[in-house]
Structure 1
Amino acid sequence: MYKVLITFDIDVTSRSLAGDAEEAFSEDEEMEPPRTRTIFIPLPPEDYEPPTRPYRDAATMANNRLPFMTPITERTEYSMDVDMDRAYQFKTPSKRDDRATPIEEASDSESGGSPLREFFPGESPFAKGREPLGSKAAKALSKTGPNRGVPVKGPIVKEAQCSPIDDNIRRTILTNIQPPLAAYPGFYDHHNQRYERGGEIRRFAKAVSRLGKANPDRAGLGIAPAVIRFANCQSRYTVKRELGAGAFAPVYLVENSDPDQDDDRVMMGKGAFAAYQRAAVEALKMESPPTPWEFYIMRTAHARLGPQHRATASISLAHEMHLYQDEAFLFLPYHPHGTLLDVINIFRAEPSGVMDEQLAMFFAIEIFRTVEALHSKGVLHGDLKPDNCLLRLDAKSAFFSSDHGLSSKWHADGSGGWDSRGVVLIDFGRGIDMKAFAPDVEFVADWKTTAQDCPEMREGRPWTWQIDYYGLAGVVHCLLFGKYLETVRADQGGLGLGRGGRRYRIRESLKRYWQTDIWADCFEVLLNPASFVAHEDGGRMPVLRSMRSIRERMEAWLEDNCERGAGLKAMMGRVEAFVNKSRR
């Protein structure tokens, strides 16, 4: 930097410029010599280009709370801190985000460019190594690990509008949750390794299915059994057969060599809840690309509901998860009685083609209670449909203490053995933790929608809780009509939103001998929830009071009419006899 020396001569004998012309220095006064003042003015080099944007020093402005700038949603001023993690960019240059300490990025040479590294760039937000992340060593590591930063104050995701299944959104949530995933019992992190046996397991299951599903042991002669082992895990899992084939996550029936391992009680945060006991036969869901999201949502739902909530028994539990670079292995309880869709198809073969109203009311009450409980704790399922509702028949678990023998009288409180019958929600891969988002968040569907998605998603409008309400309406519609839900507009047209905007109704007409007032109100609440927010706390969704009102009306009717005709107990016996026959 060049400097120029400039000297100013200041004549103090000059007259004032402010009108003091009559006042002059006396001739007797001694004239003072001129004084000089030296100022150094820096001159930039010839190739210097001055900045064209306002600059604020980040360290100086961190303690300045004056509103110099209006907060904006765009992530600007990246040049102010080039070393910060891109997942934690500041919303404005004048105020830092209240997020955890950024995680330093690792080079591609260290990570090997794995799929898991793409989902979680930089160091893994989970505990390093292969310790079971519920052990004492893992918990001690979680207190000092990279995820043990300052807890996020308020919602983790502050965007006003976003896609809830976006990888960046989920990564931000998983990296900032407290307690971190490292503190979850049953979560094993192998992010630095590849399992590389997924293809072999899939081929074995396909071969067993081709040779004979009825007797896989005999059909599998000549085929080496697929045995799954994990480092630092005493259990071995032998794959028996395929239970369901998804596009990215097939589900297998496996034998657990050590079902009595001591993790039947898991700790989540400050509370403890009783989980399903591990069993000799369990279900394995293999996810590729690997993600711990479903494990997190299922554990979150159980932790928030607690062991005493009746709806806890109707939510599948994530026993254990092993996360690799190429695969994720999620172990779940095995429910052998089939899905609600199987029951619906049983009655479609009947002359009437539909399920008896008493049985339909029973299953509707069970699903209403479960969804209502999830929503009260800020959890969305995201993919409600009949084939994601497994039957729960005579379940023997820590949730039930009553006699499993059914009484002829159905009771809303579950007494008489009825608490051991119901449904279990599975497949939380599209689940949403609403507490991680701002209260007024609006979601957008940036994927290809189908006829089973809610109208807001299909029409490109914002949505939140509507995804579960429409899914629940679809399940109830299948119970009553034996076919998938179709809706038509019930308003005067136009593009209005909210209470006076778009309204929908089912295409089919309710049968006159049904409880038309209950079912009509049921579909009205589920298809047009925005019309009922005035009755809710804060005037917003979820519409818990309206759902509770519908469910209680169903319960009152079923208690009075459960023994009418053949009776609900006899119908449940038919369902159990059918599923037991189909398992042979």
Structure 2
Amino acid sequence: MINDAMSSRVNSGGSIISGSSTEFSRIEADKENIQPLKQGRSANNLVKALSLNKETRKEVLARERDQFEASLDPAQLEDLDDPLDPYLKYLDWIHTNYPSGANTESGLIQLLERITHDFKDDDYYKNEVRYFKVWLEYVKFSDNPRDIFHYLYKKKIGLSLSLLYESFANFMEVEQDFKKAEELYQAGINAKARPLNRLIRAYENFKIRRAQSSQVQKRQGLSVLQNPSGGGLEMAAKSVPSRSSKAFAVFNDSESKPSSANDGIWQHLDTIDNSRKENVIRPTSWSGEKLIQQRVPKGKEPNFEVFRDDELRFPVTKIIHNPGKRTEKFDFNFDLLYPDKEEERSLMEVLLLSRGVYYLAKKRKPERTLETPSKKHTLLVDAENETKLLNSPTLTFYSRQSMKEVLQMLNQPLKETKVNDEEPPLDEGLSDFVTETITNHTPATPKKLTNDDTGVLSSPFVEEPLHSEPGKGDVLINPFDHNLQKNLLYKQSSHFSHYDNYHQSTTKREKCTILRNLLKPHAAPIMGSRQLMIEFEGETFCFTKQLGVLDKAATYLSEKSDGSAAAIKVCSPPVEWEYYILKQLEVRAPGTFIKVIDFYKFEDESYLILPYLKHGTLLDLIQLTSQSKSIKLEESMVIYLTAQLLKQVSILHSISIVHANLKAENCILNLTPNTKPSYHDLKLIDFQNSIDLSLFPENVRFSAQLSANTYPADEMWSSWRHEPDYYGLANIVHMLLFGRELGVLKTSSNNIKIRENMPSYWQRELWNELFKVLLNSQDLDCDQGAPLKLLAAKFENWVNLNWSSCGLSKQLAKITDFLDDQRKRNKI
């Protein structure tokens, strides 16, 4: 029998719970599976937990778990005086109903991680003893307790509690690091951690144990055991190197030292499951698998000598040095095909030579020359009227260089071609990037100019922007051409060196593949992984989550060593164009657009570091509000956001920049609730495809493939200038209003309008004028952003008049709280 005193225990709140007398035989069969707790267990509760059958127990526990999960809802926790209490009750319930401790069913480790994470930045709970005991329980399940103690020290968790210094010092004592343990005791005493008397007694006991340990190490061991350490058989077993069956020895960096508390890499702590993922073998099918069996030693077989033919001398190689090109190596007898002072030979001629009959064919009849209008070759005509080609074409190996030369020959213009005299004269070299002119659609052929010093293609735009005569035809250019952007940036490269946030290196970084493999789209953040830490000029960035991905670029959320967040766009190969556009925006419209923090260009990758705006993109807002039942986007809030979009794009056009990729995912939010409109809640991002019109002729128009949702799906523009930005704006506003992408119709007057009919209570006049301008911009003068500026003024005027009556301030605060809550749920 177990009496009441034996079955009593102390719960997490500190109160004593006593149970009735319980037959020990009822739990004896399961005693090996019961994990002991420091405060003990209630035998009565153990009987209740183990007596139910499997199915009933599973249903009861699932129902109770749902109740505890509901009690942890952030909305309920905000009204509690002690938000930690529901977590501790949940933890106590797991201890009671899952005696075996941490397993897949109990969720103990996951709950411990939630508790430690949710309160790690709360100053009130950092030195709360109940919260710190949760950390100590979590340490027991970690493979790296040292990392956790360093993390606690860095985050200033438990610095006023003796438990931190005692636990950390005990761990270092077990690790035989007595010096570090003594430093911890002294640090706790100097900090006057509570209770101080207990910490002083623990320090005195430690000094006694250390003195005894040093005496034991000096004492000689028994000669029979051959164990100089004197630690007995157990220590002797440790001192003898074990014979491992492993094919290689795992490297143990005994010289590595624990990072100091100021390193900044302990801002995040990796989860236990994530830290062990490399040691988890994923289940696979047995089909096709091979079981490795122990090799049976075979008898010694007789050695035999391998025949070697000394007369053959292979391989025969030929190395050719080509001035200005890569050295070539051929693994065959090159001289047979290209003998000195002779013409090249075909394989058939080499065969005839090897048989000694080729010279007979060569001596037969005198040759005579036949000429044709298209080709000139020497033909050999013999008595039997058999013709053989002697001056054969040069053998060309297929390579990128040869293919490039052939294409250049094919693309050369005919000298007889004459261009219409009415076409406006173009500066020399403009044809590098001109596709055609709108007047007569005559294709222009590239004529490449090379800078002798750098090998970079030159362009008329590099030296001076071209200004052709107006009214005589527009120049049509592909603005996304890689060589064009390269030439445009070549002139600007000298200015880049004057920027403090521009950094260039000739080394390779080789991090892009690792980031893409570890940080997947829509995956949970990974905290504290050393593989995801990159240092830029002494400052460490820890990449935690992927925010967006393109074909050759991806944007990641990262945290600096000081705890501040940043968004980093990684491109491979490196891309400087977006940095150039952002610097132009900073100079031409200071304080209006997002500002570059730093730009690092390496040989293989580039890193564009930007401020992290915490509330996500417009696309995130649209998707979250469409799925939520508690919050919706009101029309008045859409008008407020549309006013900011129109203002941003109008300023962009007024400084001669075309975004060319306006989408909801390229509009970032940083909401700030206010009593009056600020018009600073939205910023445009992703300027990788943007165009600087100041680098092009005044009459330029563009022809290139555009991104989806920036042009009508059933219509392809032959040329464009500002039209993609207008259509992209219309699509974004349409998604804000209707929650789906834009669909258009053509009217009888050949104008374009949206498919949907607007409700009568909406601001129809405002919306109709907006879509009429945005969808029919081909007939407007869009330079300097004049049409958008007028629309922005009308929308801002409506917002200013109706800000209070429509409750926009409350709506903005509600949306801000909603997005903040989503960030907490996703642990961002």
TM-score (norm 2): 0.43
Say whether 1:251 aligns with 2:555: yes
For 1:228, the equivalent position in structure 2 comes to: 534
Question: Contact (CA 8 Å) 2:461, 2:696: kept in 1 or not?
Answer: no
Q: 1:76/1:430 Cα in 2 relative to 1: closer, same or farther (>3 Å)?
A: closer
Say whether 1:349 aligns with 2:660: no
Q: Could you tell me which of 170, 194, 198 is aligned with 2:512?
A: 198
Q: Could you tell me which of 98, 104, 122 is aligned with 2:453?
A: 104
- CA displacement at 1:334 relative to structure 2: 0.7
Letter of the 1:245 counterpart: V
Map Cα deviations across residues 552-573 of structure 1 (whole Å, 9 max, x no partner).
Answer: 22122222222235x1011111
Q: 1:295/1:578 Cα in 2 relative to 1: closer, same or farther (>3 Å)?
A: same
Partner Cα distance (1:234, 1:552) in 2: 47
- CA displacement at 1:289 relative to structure 2: 2.1
Question: Contact (CA 8 Å) 2:519, 2:546: kept in 1 or not?
Answer: yes
Partner Cα distance (2:798, 2:752) in 1: 26
Partner Cα distance (1:167, 1:563) in 2: 50
For 1:332, the equivalent position in structure 2 comes to: 610
For 2:684, the equivalent position in structure 1 comes to: 425
Q: 1:73/1:581 Cα in 2 relative to 1: closer, same or farther (>3 Å)?
A: same
| Residues 41-120 of structure 1 mapped to structure 2, 5 A cutoff | 71=425, 102=451, 104-105=453-454
Letter of the 1:558 counterpart: V
> Larger C-alpha radius of gyration, 1 or 2?
2
Map Cα deviations across residues 287-318 of structure 1 (whole Å, 9 max, x no partner).
Answer: 112110111111111110124xxxx1xx2222
With a CA cutoff of 8 Å and minimum separation of 6, indicate the structure with the bigger relative contact order. Answer: 1
For 2:465, the equivalent position in structure 1 comes to: 154
Q: How many residues align?
A: 390
Q: 1:476/1:438 Cα in 2 relative to 1: closer, same or farther (>3 Å)?
A: same
Partner Cα distance (1:524, 1:103) in 2: 52
Question: Contact (CA 8 Å) 2:662, 2:710: kept in 1 or not?
Answer: no
Say whether 1:544 aligns with 2:822: no
RMSD of aligned Cα (Å): 3.8
- CA displacement at 1:333 relative to structure 2: 0.6
- CA displacement at 1:521 relative to structure 2: 0.6
Letter of the 1:427 counterpart: D
| Residues 158-307 of structure 1 mapped to structure 2, 5 A cutoff | 160-177=475-492, 180-190=495-505, 192-206=506-520, 212-213=524-525, 216-217=526-527, 224-230=530-536, 233-257=537-561, 280-307=564-591
Letter of the 2:760 counterpart: R
Q: Please give the secondary structure, in 2, of the residue aligned with 1:180.
A: helix
- CA displacement at 1:199 relative to structure 2: 2.0
Letter of the 2:578 counterpart: E
Question: Contact (CA 8 Å) 2:656, 2:784: kept in 1 or not?
Answer: no
Q: 1:555/1:197 Cα in 2 relative to 1: closer, same or farther (>3 Å)?
A: closer
Map Cα deviations across residues 136-178 of structure 1 (whole Å, 9 max, x no partner).
Answer: xxxxxxxxxxx9x998333499991111111122112111238
For 2:639, the equivalent position in structure 1 comes to: 361
Percent of residue pairs identical = 26
Say whether 1:525 aligns with 2:773: yes
Q: 1:337/1:483 Cα in 2 relative to 1: closer, same or farther (>3 Å)?
A: same
- CA displacement at 1:519 relative to structure 2: 0.7
Question: Contact (CA 8 Å) 1:238, 1:256: kept in 2 or not?
Answer: yes
Question: Contact (CA 8 Å) 1:193, 1:325: kept in 2 or not?
Answer: yes
Question: Contact (CA 8 Å) 1:157, 1:437: kept in 2 or not?
Answer: no
Partner Cα distance (1:466, 1:184) in 2: 33
Question: Contact (CA 8 Å) 2:468, 2:698: kept in 1 or not?
Answer: no
Q: Could you tell me which of 793, 804, 812 is aligned with 1:563?
A: 804
Partner Cα distance (2:613, 2:467) in 1: 35
Partner Cα distance (1:433, 1:457) in 2: 28
Question: Contact (CA 8 Å) 2:745, 2:753: kept in 1 or not?
Answer: yes
Map Cα deviations across residues 495-524 of structure 1 (whole Å, 9 max, x no partner).
Answer: xxxxxxx53111111221111111111111
Q: Could you tell me which of 696, 701, 716 is aligned with 1:442?
A: 701
For 2:669, the equivalent position in structure 1 comes to: 391
Letter of the 1:161 counterpart: L
TM-score (norm 1): 0.60
Partner Cα distance (1:448, 1:150) in 2: 23
Say whether 1:507 aligns with 2:755: yes
- CA displacement at 1:525 relative to structure 2: 0.9
Partner Cα distance (1:360, 1:300) in 2: 30
Q: 1:331/1:431 Cα in 2 relative to 1: closer, same or farther (>3 Å)?
A: same
Map Cα deviations across residues 435-470 of structure 1 (whole Å, 9 max, x no partner).
Answer: 11111111012x3763x1324994241001001011
Letter of the 2:451 counterpart: P
| Residues 458-469 of structure 1 mapped to structure 2, 5 A cutoff | 458-469=715-726
Q: 1:448/1:472 Cα in 2 relative to 1: closer, same or farther (>3 Å)?
A: closer
Question: Contact (CA 8 Å) 2:710, 2:725: kept in 1 or not?
Answer: no
Letter of the 1:574 counterpart: K
Letter of the 2:711 counterpart: C
Say whether 1:572 aligns with 2:802: no
Question: Contact (CA 8 Å) 2:533, 2:541: kept in 1 or not?
Answer: yes
Q: 1:353/1:511 Cα in 2 relative to 1: closer, same or farther (>3 Å)?
A: farther
Question: Contact (CA 8 Å) 1:360, 1:480: kept in 2 or not?
Answer: yes
Q: Please give the secondary structure, in 1, of the residue aligned with 2:697.
A: coil
Question: Contact (CA 8 Å) 2:501, 2:599: kept in 1 or not?
Answer: yes
Say whether 1:490 aligns with 2:774: no
Question: Contact (CA 8 Å) 1:457, 1:463: kept in 2 or not?
Answer: no
Question: Contact (CA 8 Å) 2:582, 2:687: kept in 1 or not?
Answer: yes
Letter of the 1:479 counterpart: L
Question: Contact (CA 8 Å) 2:462, 2:488: kept in 1 or not?
Answer: no
Q: 1:154/1:73 Cα in 2 relative to 1: closer, same or farther (>3 Å)?
A: closer
Partner Cα distance (1:296, 1:174) in 2: 8
Q: 1:353/1:579 Cα in 2 relative to 1: closer, same or farther (>3 Å)?
A: closer
- CA displacement at 1:422 relative to structure 2: 1.3
Partner Cα distance (1:459, 1:169) in 2: 23
- CA displacement at 1:74 relative to structure 2: 8.2
Q: Please give the secondary structure, in 2, of the residue aligned with 1:169.
A: helix
Q: 1:351/1:281 Cα in 2 relative to 1: closer, same or farther (>3 Å)?
A: closer
Q: Please give the secondary structure, in 2, of the residue aligned with 1:430.
A: coil
Say whether 1:472 aligns with 2:729: yes
Q: 1:369/1:327 Cα in 2 relative to 1: closer, same or farther (>3 Å)?
A: same
Question: Contact (CA 8 Å) 1:529, 1:543: kept in 2 or not?
Answer: no
- CA displacement at 1:105 relative to structure 2: 4.0
Question: Contact (CA 8 Å) 1:156, 1:173: kept in 2 or not?
Answer: no
Q: Could you tell me which of 598, 620, 623 is aligned with 1:320?
A: 598
Partner Cα distance (1:150, 1:187) in 2: 23
Say whether 1:454 aligns with 2:711: yes
For 1:275, the equivalent position in structure 2 comes to: none
For 1:554, the equivalent position in structure 2 comes to: 795
Letter of the 1:174 counterpart: L
Q: Please give the secondary structure, in 2, of the residue aligned with 1:546.
A: helix
Partner Cα distance (2:568, 2:475) in 1: 37
Q: Please give the secondary structure, in 1, of the residue aligned with 2:733.
A: helix
Q: 1:388/1:321 Cα in 2 relative to 1: closer, same or farther (>3 Å)?
A: same
- CA displacement at 1:101 relative to structure 2: 10
Partner Cα distance (1:523, 1:251) in 2: 32
Partner Cα distance (1:544, 1:432) in 2: 15
Question: Contact (CA 8 Å) 1:355, 1:482: kept in 2 or not?
Answer: no
Question: Contact (CA 8 Å) 1:354, 1:480: kept in 2 or not?
Answer: no
